[in-house]
């Protein structure tokens, strides 16, 4: 596949407009601007617009007076002029990547409001209109997929950061939702992102190594992955994770791309690596704790196994890396949904 394709959640079409976050009276100005629009989240799900026949799925954009009040408001940025569609790893996304780009004029300021149960039920009681990121992202256009990803990442951080980690005091949201200030010490706390590496390991015959995680259903296979430890480089994390989970020595570690994975707060950094010279691929041994089974697949073997093996979902960077190795969409595999 062409180098230009992005992982599905790395798609974005927005000016984050960071300068505006620190402007005094920003919230009041936002509310007074008739061009402003609000998207809403409730328990990690976004409100989608009602489907009109023939239209692509899109987020619901509300005028500020129509958007319920919320304890959490975050300014996400301004829309930009639609550009040529960016090809996506996911065919469905590629089909609609520009479909929602022309309904808001460029420069439209967008804010996130997080709703409680009562406000969400008042605004839209129909459950089907609320969608989670994993199912919505592949069918949303670039702008809306990016907005949802940004909004969810911010909302998740706020829900986990009500208190100062240093002194335990309450904190107050500042900078239009991009920081919190400790109410006692006055220091600023910024949203955090946890880096994780995910690695497509191949051998000299260009077979791919897939592992089955202990937490997953049987026969569900994906790439090896793990969090980067403090004081560790990304490349070292790749080599360590493959060593721990598969007992294999790898080298030729190469970075391929990244995407946010705000479930709840990760940034997935995708790599490829090769089994090191002098290491026999068949000695791959699952650690028995995190990884229960390991299998090598040639392209033909993977295509033949798709009825028996569940592969990572279309929103994941694992699928994106796998399809780049495979050379295109992997034939229909068993559906793999939620974790």
Which residues are near Zn ion by CB under 5 A?
Answer: 164, 166-167, 169, 182, 185
Compute the C-alpha angle 181/187/188, nearest 5°. 55
| Minimum distance from residue 70 beta carbon to Zn ion (Å) | 24
Closest approach of Zn ion to the CB of residue 167, in Å: 3
**Smallest separation (angstroms) from Zn ion to the CB of 193:** 21
By Cβ distance, which residue is nearest to Zn ion? Answer: 164
* Smallest separation, CB 75 to Zn ion (Å): 24
Spatial contact of 109 and 37, defined as CB atoms under 8 Å apart: yes
Indicate the length of the chain as a whole number. Answer: 339
**Nearer Cβ to Zn ion, position 51 or 166?**
166
Task: Name the residue nearer to Zn ion (CB basis): 110 or 182.
Answer: 182
Q: Looking at beta carbons only, is 81 or 167 nearer to Zn ion?
A: 167
Q: Which residues contact 209 (CB under 8 A, 6 or more apart)?
A: 201, 202, 203, 224, 246, 248, 281, 284, 294, 295, 296
Locate 299 and state its tokens.
């392209």
How far apart, in whole angstroms, are the C-alpha atoms of residue 54 and residue 90?
Answer: 20
The residues, any chain, with a CB within 8 Å of residue 97's CB and separated by 6 or more, are: 11, 85, 86, 87, 88, 141, 142
Read off φ and ψ for residue 98, nearest 5 degrees.
Answer: -110, 0
Residue 170 CB, nearest approach to Zn ion (Å): 9
Q: Which is nearer to Zn ion, 66 or 166 (CB)?
A: 166
Which CB atom, from 92 or from 174, has the smaller least distance to Zn ion? 174
Of 56 and 182, nearer to Zn ion (C-beta) is 182
Nearest to 143 by CA among 87, 97, 103: 97
Residue 181 beta carbon to Zn ion: minimum distance, rounded to whole angstroms: 9
The torsion angles phi and psi of 134, rounded to 5 degrees, stand at -60, -40
Instruction: Provide the CB-side half-sphere exposure for 193 (13 A, CA).
Output: 18
Nearer to Zn ion, 169 or 307 (CB): 169
> Nearest approach, Cβ of 189 to Zn ion (angstroms)?
8
Grouping H, G, I as helix, E, B as strand and the rest as coil, residue 114 is: strand
The two tokens of residue 34 are 């008739």
């Amino acid at each position: 596949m062409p180098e230009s394709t992005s992982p599905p959640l790395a798609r974005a079409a927005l000016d984050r407009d960071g300068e505006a976050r620190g402007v005094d009276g920003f919230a009041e100005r936002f509310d007074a601007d008739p061009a402003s629009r609000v998207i809403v989240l409730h328990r990690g799900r976004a409100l989608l617009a009602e489907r009109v026949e023939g239209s692509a799925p899109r987020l619901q954009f509300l005028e500020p007076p129509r958007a319920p009040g919320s304890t959490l408001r975050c300014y996400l940025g301004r829309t930009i002029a639609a550009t040529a569609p960016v090809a996506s790893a996911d065919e469905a996304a590629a089909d609609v990547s520009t479909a929602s780009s022309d309904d808001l004029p460029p420069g439209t300021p967008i804010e996130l409001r997080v709703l409680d149960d009562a406000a969400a039920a008042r605004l839209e009681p129909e459950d089907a209109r609320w969608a989670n990121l994993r199912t919505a992202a592949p069918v949303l256009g670039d702008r809306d997929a990016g907005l949802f990803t940004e909004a969810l990442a911010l909302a998740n951080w706020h829900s986990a950061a009500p208190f100062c980690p240093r002194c335990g005091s309450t904190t107050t949201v500042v900078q239009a939702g991009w920081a919190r200030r400790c109410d006692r010490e006055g220091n600023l706390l910024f949203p955090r992102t946890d880096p994780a590496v995910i690695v497509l390991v191949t051998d000299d015959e260009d077979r791919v190594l897939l592992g089955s995680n202990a937490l997953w259903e049987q026969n569900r296979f994906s790439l090896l992955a793990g969090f980067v430890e403090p004081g560790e480089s990304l490349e070292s994390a790749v080599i360590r994770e493959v060593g721990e989970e598969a007992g294999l020595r790898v080298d030729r570690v190469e970075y391929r791309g990244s995407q946010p994975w705000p479930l709840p707060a990760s940034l997935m950094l995708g790599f490829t690596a090769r089994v090191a010279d002098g290491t026999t691929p068949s000695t791959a041994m699952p650690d028995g704790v995190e990884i229960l089974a390991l299998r090598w697949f040639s392209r033909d073997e993977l295509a033949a196994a798709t009825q028996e093996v569940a592969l990572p979902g279309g929103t994941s960077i694992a699928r994106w890396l796998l399809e780049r190795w495979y050379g295109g969409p992997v034939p229909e595999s068993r559906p793999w949904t939620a974790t």
